Amino acid sequence: MRTAPHEIPVRGLAAPLREDESALRRDHRPYAVKRLFLRWQQYYVRRFLRPQFDALGRGHHFMRPWYVELFGSPIALGRYATVIASADARVRFCVWPDQEGEGLIRIGDYSLICPGVRISSACRVTIGHSVMMANRVYLTDSDWHDLYDRTAAGRGAPIRIGNNVWLGDSAIVCKGVTIGDNSVIGAGAVVTRDVPDYGVAYGSPARVRGWICNCGLGLEFGNSGRGATASCSCGRSYSRDGQAITPL
């Protein structure tokens, strides 16, 4: 019987398995070692990280937690958060208030924090639920140094990030900024102004360049005037009044 072209054996290599044989292939990957590694990570979080959080929700998952650094308080992380850190891109949460009673980092449920994320607070940084922060995102609510007197603390203003927001790679969110629900911030953006709900902003400084549906597809409005509407293929519809987007 002739052999199919993709089944011709190559010298030094084993012949490919047939479809009915592939299910019998033995997996030699060391899962026991993997389980031990995961248990060590969980122990590290319980022993060294949890005491530094003022609140740490259940269901969290830290990858290489020894590269996560916390300084100051209060710092709170919600339920089912995933935090990924690495040796060359540590995750840092820092609260360093200039006045007593200020300084706060609060992150909601189901967040994703990628390597290199830094959050620094002298006033208040509040992040909603289901927020994804890509590699090397930086949030800071203060200048940290006065423009003229470098020994004085700079001015600060709270940052608020809504629900279901995606902050792209290396995006910077500056003091006093509010980013609305269901928004997307492009990679490398420097956000110095508020971004409304459903906005897509990018550039330096970042500007709102488009709109996005709750399902993740783009929205096209016929005009920017009052009463403009857009419909998404998912079935949702929206109306636009300037920079305000309202689901119908």
Residue numbers annotated as active site = 129
Nearest alpha carbon to residue 83 among 59, 47, 52:
59
Query: Over the chain, what HEC string results?
Result: CCCCHHHCCCCCCCCCCCHHHHCCCCCCCCHHHHHHHHHHHHHHHHHHHHHHCCEECCCCEEECHHHEEEECCCEEECCCCEEECECCECEEEEECCCCCCCCCEEECCCCEECCCCEEEECCCEEECCCCEECCCCEEECECCCCCCCCCCCCCECCEEECCCCEECCCCEECCCCEECCCCEECCCCEECCCECCCEEEECCCCEEEEEECCCCCEECCCCCCCCEEEECCCCCEEEEECCEEEEC
